[in-house]
Structures are given as structure tokens and as C-alpha cells.
Amino acid sequence: MGHHFLDIAGARTLPTPGLVATDQAVEHVVAASAMGVVHGPAGLGKSYAVERALARHAGVAVSWVEFPSRPTMRLVAATLFEQLTRDPAGRRSRFVLTDELLESLGRGPRAVVVDEAQRLTKDCIEFLRYLHDDRRTRFALLLVGGDDAWSVLSREPMLRSRVYRRVALDPLTGPQVCELMGSFHPIYDGVDRELLALIDDHVGRGNLRHWAAFTHTAADLCARAARDRIDEEIVHNAFAVHGGVVDVGGGEVTTSAPA
């Protein structure tokens, strides 16, 4: 199962629209041994959502890989080989590695996840497509990436036409934050929606990673003050820790909280 950012004790998984859509997409992609893409801005929980969805498929072997910017095809082949076989690639050529990958990818139910897929080159995208299309293989291929991942991947018609499911994650809207974040952590239980909206306006911005960072700080402040949940004072102090100064008491609100 995936971990929350900062591994906050007591944090709960929220049924955000992105999580629900990713759950369904991964289910379909794994069942069909197809291709899927999950993309969106940093901090929205893409990798967590995919990892969580895959954890429900106990009989499916999962290989999770990530590459530096503009990797070579040989690096992609070697990394995949080592993930699949748990053996070092050594000095094998790309062609030898490809033959062994085709054999490995034909064994049993499997899912391959490529994180930060926007880093791939055209040749590497074509290489992954080739592995997936070969008649000897049958595996689910999930490409997960940042905000520009789809613009990179969709430039290749051969891959774009094969994408079975695509999920584009967006930041939570203000109403979604007010509806969902009260359940994220016990310190928000029963908290006024206006206070949640204030946190989102100045720190959260609909981004789960930003909310996790704020929650980590606020939970610590609550524990130090022997309080079960946040209040205006806790929020004021947490904003100060995160780089902003906010008058929560009804006056003008100013903040320099980081983007």
C-alpha cells in the first residue's frame, strides 16, 4: 500500500475524484493487460493512487521504474531487466536485454509502472510500445507523470492510439476541499468549513502534498498545546511556520506562504 507524504500518523485516504478515477482506470488496464496514463501537476497523489490501486491485485507482479531525464534505450532496457529478473544487467547489449525482456514479460500476470514518464525520449517511448505490442508479452503498462507528461506522450501517435485509459488529475476545488479535508486527519474533525477554506487559500491550494505538509505542522502544534483539533490560534501559528503571517481574527489577511 502507498504511503502518505511525510507518513503522517492518523492521516486518512480521501476519496478524491482523482483517486476514484485512478482506481477505475488501473482496474481496467490490469484486466485488459493494456496501456494507461495518469498525469497531472506535482503533489496531487498520482503515484500514491496508482500504488494503492495496484495493491488490490495481489496476484499481479508489479515492477515500478523511474528514469533520469532523457534516458537511453539501453538504460531503459537494463533498468527494466533488473527490476523484472532481480539480476544485474552487466554488459549485456540492448538487443540481448530486449530478447530477455520479451521472455520475462510473457510470464504470468504483470504490471509495469513508469513514473515521471515525461522524462522519456521518443525512442524510449517507442521501445516501451514495442515491448507491450510484441505477441510474446502480455502485461499492463502504466505511465505516470507530471503536468506535461501527456503533451510528451501524446506526440507519438503509435502510443497515443494504444492508450486504453487516461486520467488527468487536477487540484481540488474550494468546495471539494471543504467537503473532503475535514476527514483527512483527526485534527480537522468538526472544524468549521471557513477555517478549512482559509487554509486552502493560503497554503493548501487544492494540492494534497501542500495539505500534508500543513497537517504535519498543525498536528505537532496541536500536540504541544494539548488540543485535539485545530483552531484559529493553531492555524495562525502554522501559517507562520510555513512562511506566512495571517490575521485570522477577521481583519485583512496577508501572507507570503510559498507556492
Rounded CA separation 160/70 (Å): 19
Q: Beta strand 110-115 with 140-145: parallel, antiparallel or unpaired?
A: parallel
Torsion of the alpha carbons at 153, 154, 157 and 158, rounded to the nearest 10:
30
Instruction: Express each pLDDT in 41-91 by its tens digit.
Output: 999 999 999 999 999 999 999 999 999 999 999 999 999 999 999 999 999
> What DSSP line would sit under 42-68, residue for residue?
TTS-HHHHHHHHHHT-TTSEEEEEE--
Rounded CA separation 71/142 (Å): 18
Statement: residue 259 has pLDDT above 80: no
Q: Which residue has the higher pLDDT, 8 or 177?
A: 177
Q: Where are the domains of the chain?
A: 17-168, 174-241
Rounded CA separation 92/152 (Å): 29
Residue 43 is predicted with a pLDDT of 94
Return all residues near 206 (Cβ < 8 A) that are at least 6 apart.
Answer: 170, 171, 172, 173, 174, 176, 177, 200
Instruction: Express each pLDDT in 124-183 by its tens digit.
Output: 999 999 999 999 999 999 999 998 999 999 999 999 999 999 999 999 999 999 999 999
For 140, how many CA atoms within 13 A lie in the half-sphere containing its CB?
A: 27
Residue 5 is predicted with a pLDDT of 66
**What angle, rounded to 10 degrees, do the helices at 122-133 and 94-104 form?**
40
3-state DSSP call for residue 229?
coil
Q: At the topology level of CATH, where does 17-168 sit?
A: Rossmann fold (3.40.50)
- Work out the pLDDT band at 3, boundaries 50, 70, 90: low
Rounded CA separation 34/133 (Å): 10
Q: Which residue has the higher pLDDT, 246 or 166?
A: 166
Statement: residue 254 has pLDDT above 50: no
Instruction: Express each pLDDT in 96-135 by its tens digit.
Output: 999 999 999 998 899 999 999 999 999 999 999 999 999 9
**What whole-number percentage of the chain has pLDDT above 90?**
87
Cell numbers for 172: 481540488
